[in-house]
Amino acid sequence: MSVCYTKAITPSAKIAIIGAGFVGSTIAYTMMLEGVASEIVLIDIDKEKATGEAYDLRHCMQFTRSVSVEAGDSFDLVKGASIVVVCAGFAQKVGEPRVNLLSENVKIFKSVIPKIVKCNSDCILLIVTNPLDVLTYVTLKLSGMPSCRVFGTGTVLDTSRLRYLIGQHLKVSPKDITAYVLGEHGDSEFVWWSKANIAGIPLNNFPTFTTEIMDKIYTRTRDSVYEVIKRKGATYYAVSAAVSKLVRAIIQGQSRVFTLSTLIEEEVYGIKDVCISVPTIIGANGVCQRLSIELDAKEKGLFIDSAIKIKESIRSISSLI
């Protein structure tokens, strides 16, 4: 368990978004529609792009809650932000594993993260850029901030995809399904099948939920990102909805459970000092508690393998940080 205390966040929160590409701008739009923040700032190396996005967002205000939207290329804009959402970096291409983005995006983070911390060392840093787990770890090292205030979106989106697919098969709302994707936000992720259930009923109690179906759903969950990128070039709607939900949970101190990529400080199945997705409670103070996970023998092996893969990626760029 890891508990951390920071200042409480008020309902009139300011949220800064680093990177005004597809993901960053859609996060801003989603938060605006949902009334998550009173002030949103977009920061991008391309000042004109960020400013254009801000103009477009401001023109929504007749139809949304009144929100201040600012944009620019100066990191001074993060001053006073309760949460800084980091989306800066190169995007994943068709058929490209997330880890292939690593070295270039580490270089970007080496430039971006110190600038954020210099202007605002009291914020919560929420990492969205891929490869997510490695860059969350890199951010911790570059920022020097406590681990309760630095974490990534992890497998929150993967878990949403999983629940959607289970719901499609069993004709049940995804909201009533308890099932999680753990491990890397990437190809070594795995489903925590041994604890998956609907209303407390294990999924393997449903006659049509066979091992073959489980395997198909896992594969589709893992490969969903490639299917979307192949067809439309990028993913941004679902991840934006996920980020908006996370930001709301933090601002409102909801103590919600999400599978976030957080630093494992105390050994979990022999694994520590790596950022990886496990069920985590978040609230106004950031990470409140990392929940203990009870895995079966197969899942334990998958968790260890996934952690080792992330650690290997971290070692491959250790000279850069």
| 250 contacts 284 by C-beta, under 8 angstroms | yes
- Measured CA to CA, the distance from residue 28 to residue 51 in angstroms comes to 13
What sign does the dihedral 92-98-102-106 (CA atoms) show?
positive
Using alpha carbons, select from 147, 154, 114 the residue that is nearest to residue 18.
Answer: 114
What are the DSSP calls for 220-258, one per residue?
A: HHHHHHHHHHHHHS---HHHHHHHHHHHHHHHTT--EEE
- Measured CA to CA, the distance from residue 21 to residue 12 in angstroms comes to 25
Give residues with Cβ within 8 angstroms of 166, minimum separation 6. Answer: 172, 174, 177, 179, 196, 203, 217
- Measured CA to CA, the distance from residue 298 to residue 24 in angstroms comes to 37
Among candidate residues 185, 222, 245, 309, the one labeled active-site is 185
Task: Say whether 185 is catalytic.
Answer: yes
Which residue is associated with the tokens 């969350």?
136
- Measured CA to CA, the distance from residue 240 to residue 30 in angstroms comes to 6
Residues identified as active-site: 185
